[in-house]
Amino acid sequence: MNQDATDHTASKKIWVYDTTLRDGAQREGLSLSIEDKLRIAHQLDQLGIPFIEGGWPGANPKDVQFFWRLQEDPLSQAEVVAFCSTCRPSKKAADDPMLQPILAAGTRWVTLFGKSWDLHVVEGLKTTLDKNLAMIQDTIEFLRSHERRIIYDAEHWFDGYKYHPEYALKTLATALSAGAEWLVLCDTNGGTLPHEIAMITRQVHDWLGAIQTASPSSPTFSLPKIGIHTHNDSATAVANALAAVMEGAVMVQGTINGYGERCGNANLCSLIPNLQLKLGYDCIQPKQLAKLSESSRFISEVVNLAPDDHAPFVGLSAFAHKGGIHVSAVERNPKTYEHIQPEAIGNRRRIVISDQAGLSNVLAKARSFGIELDKQDPTCRQLLQRLKNLEQEGYQFEAAEASFELLMREALHQRPKFFEFKRFQVHCERMPDGDLWRSHSQAIVKVAVQGQDILEAAEGNGPVSALDAALRKALLTNYPAIAQFHLTDYKVRILDGKTGASAKTRVLAESSDGYKRWTTVGVSGNIIEASYQAVVEGLEYGLMMQARVKAAFR
């Protein structure tokens, strides 16, 4: 690291500790390959995170290889941290084979967790309270003898302190006397509330201060070094971490996007901007903070989980404005409806177009597309009325901005004509395949490109897949850029379910060229027709973006 991790002389310095690769990976349905972990680690390193917990070497072959690979391709500024538990009750630390892979990982820092709650000691470890203290001391001293620096995670700290405070404090005293440099208070079950976190953290801070006063000459107790690790089972993980910082914690542990077991961990994408922008703490550099939204979305892509559009700070909708009054006010002064500048964390303001929109929305949205409209231009009101009529029919443009831009450019006679639809046909059949049934679809499309009719057919595992493949096949020769386009999401919504099978359907299709994403919408009583509308507009919008890029370089 560029700056020693025990230097607390910097004013209001907070050390951010990311555990996405270990605690975050315990989220149900989340699985990371070695390559995934390496990509995330390097992204966090670029974000300026000081501590990155890589996993538990020895717990599985993947984590062992991860630490080996990082030795070949080291991080630029972050400390990668190995994670493990205290030695087992039946063994001395030096004889416990579990600790050998920890040393082999070659990290300077090791995070060791031990039991703080007497309930876990007696019923979980099946040992005595004194033996647990001996395990904490023996393990830390063993790792220290191998020149490892120790972050001690006091597991179930808050529950242990509430039920048996004297013993919980003994576990901390043992870890500190054995050489731990950080004491991290863990709300492992996620059931503690902010006022309890604040009170107990303050008491630990005062207790450490008393030890320092009693031992002024001892370097072991030179400064209190408290960390906080919270889970979100009560939906208070971020609030709990903030409460702990306000009472003396100088390390916050969490995960990107709040990933983690059960309900997740404290979300660093909320914690970091709250600490830095609201409370004035120094977490990462401002230029790195401006990459927070990008990092959030990058990591969601790597773990293959859809980004939460409504996530605070980094979500697509975090600075979206829909109501006409809101938009008008934000246009005059963003502070009216925005608690921070979205650019500070790499997000952006969005003007949402819907049936609640006013002229302010239309004008602001046009500007985001690079179109300057005059409020007195009749086209504005025509477009607004067209928008509201379409939304009455079931279209939803707030989730399909690409379709709205096409609609706007059509009203202004600026919509490019890349191809003309003639007709399409989709055939689906279900065939026996041994004891199972197999679905098969075929689509035929006819389009005109530059006055030439093109007829193509393609197969797919479903009607939308076959239709998409046939369209690409028909257009690829004239528009080779289409080879880079692919569907990334497809959503179907039944709009009036009471009408049964004749209900109107809305389809949202998200497309990507590998760099940008855009969403288009189609509505029809026929799901295939609705899908066709959305897929065609997705291709059309992608081609329009490609044409802009080419024009910019001419």
Q: What is the pLDDT of residues 175-231, one digit of tens each?
A: 999 999 999 999 999 999 999 999 999 999 999 988 877 765 555 445 558 999 999
Residues 261 and 333 in one domain: no
Residues 446 and 499 in one domain: no
Q: Which residue, 434, 461, 477, sits at the end of a domain?
A: 477
Is 9's pLDDT higher than 60?
A: no
Domain total for the chain? 4
Q: Where does 116-227 have alpha helices with state H?
A: 118-119, 129-145, 157-163, 165-178, 194-214
Residues 231 and 363 in one domain: no
- The model's confidence at residue 502, banded by pLDDT at 50, 70 and 90, is low
Q: What is the pLDDT of residues 93-143, one digit of tens each?
A: 999 999 999 999 999 999 999 999 999 999 999 999 999 999 999 999 999
HSE (CB half, 13 Å, CA atoms) of 235? 0
Question: What is the pLDDT, as a whole number, of residue 553?
Answer: 72
- The model's confidence at residue 75, banded by pLDDT at 50, 70 and 90, is very high
Provide the whole-model pTM.
Answer: 0.72
465 lies in some domain: yes
474 φ, ψ (degrees, to nearest 5): -70, -30
CB 228 within 8 A of CB 258: no
Q: Where does 34-182 have alpha helices with state H?
A: 34-47, 61-72, 100-104, 118-119, 129-145, 157-163, 165-178
Question: What is the pLDDT, as a whole number, of residue 139?
Answer: 98
Residues 453 and 515 in one domain: no
Range of the domain at 368: 320-393
Residues 170 and 275 in one domain: yes
Residues 525 and 470 in one domain: no
Residues 218 and 166 in one domain: yes
399 lies in some domain: no
CB 497 within 8 A of CB 471: no
Question: What is the pLDDT, as a whole number, of residue 257?
Answer: 98
308 lies in some domain: no
Q: What is the pLDDT of residues 281-322, one digit of tens each?
A: 999 999 999 999 999 988 987 887 878 989 999 998 899 887
DSSP per-residue letters across 285-318: -HHHHTTHHHHHHHHHHHTT----TT-TTTSTTT
7 lies in some domain: no
Report the alpha-carbon distance of residue 273 to residue 120 in Å, rounded: 35
Q: What is the CA radius of gyration of the chain?
A: 29
Amino acid at 187: D
Is 413's pLDDT higher than 70?
A: yes
Nearest to 289 by CA among 347, 374, 249, 349: 347
With residue 380 as reference, give the H or E element that holds it: helix 378-393
Report the alpha-carbon distance of residue 22 to residue 495 in Å, rounded: 42
Residues 212 and 336 in one domain: no
First to last CA, the chain: 45
Residues 73 and 165 in one domain: yes
Residue 538, domain CATH: 3.30.160.340
